[in-house]
Amino acid sequence: MHKPSSYELFRGFLTVGLYGFGGVLPWARWMMVEKRQWVDTVTFNEMEAFAQAMPGPNVINLSVVVGARYQGLPGALAALGGLIVMPFLIVITLGLAYDRWGAIPAIHDTLAAVSAAAAGLVIATAAKMLKPMITRRSAVRLLFCALAFTGVGFLGYSLVWVLLALAPVSVWLAWRRTA
């Protein structure tokens, strides 16, 4: 295993940020485990589980964990900065283009079509997460999923309240299951 410097952390996550179209995590795994060999598979899985259990996007959390592990605060800042800087600049450029040309009918229509497809991507993401949950033993999990969906999607409740109401119970039940 190679212990990366802050500069290497920045460089590594810079490329991850650029590659990650439609899912950054596979690239992060490939870069950290296979290409640069900063961590082994077991450590990566542990870090990933932690990154997923915390609020915030998975990959961003992962960059903070890895950076902190090897170089403390400077490392976390370097990894996080590397990950976010290029996507930030690219999306700003796209935003600029949208402001300038978004009202042109042809572009407006194209974006309308792309936004219909983008809704489909989000639905597919949910479906992919749902698939492993449809087993006999996970009726409780499906119930929490349905309650969250109904509360936010149909009843228009604030996500914060729904989360505060459901998550503690759901986590407590999961804690008991893992005993």
C-beta of 11: minimal distance to other proteins in Å? 16
* Residues contacting other proteins: total by CB under 8 A: 95
How is residue 111 written in tokens? 């974006």
Question: Cβ contacts of residue 67 below 8 Å, gap of 6+?
Answer: 6, 9, 74, 75, 76, 77, 78, 79, 80
Q: Which of residues 136-155 bind other proteins (CB under 8 A)?
A: 141-142, 144-154
Closer to other proteins at the Cβ: 33 or 163? Answer: 163
Site for other proteins in 87-146 (CB under 8 A): 87-88, 90-92, 94-95, 98-99, 102, 106, 109-130, 133, 141-142, 144-146
Structure tokens at 109: 């229509």
17 is a site residue for other proteins (CB under 8 A): yes
Q: How many CB atoms lie within 10 A of CB 144?
A: 16
Please state, in angstroms and rounded to a whole number, the distance separating the CA atoms of residues 99 and 93. Answer: 10
Tell me the per-residue interface mask from 24 to 53 with other proteins, x by CB under 8 A, - otherwise.
x---------------------x--xxxxx
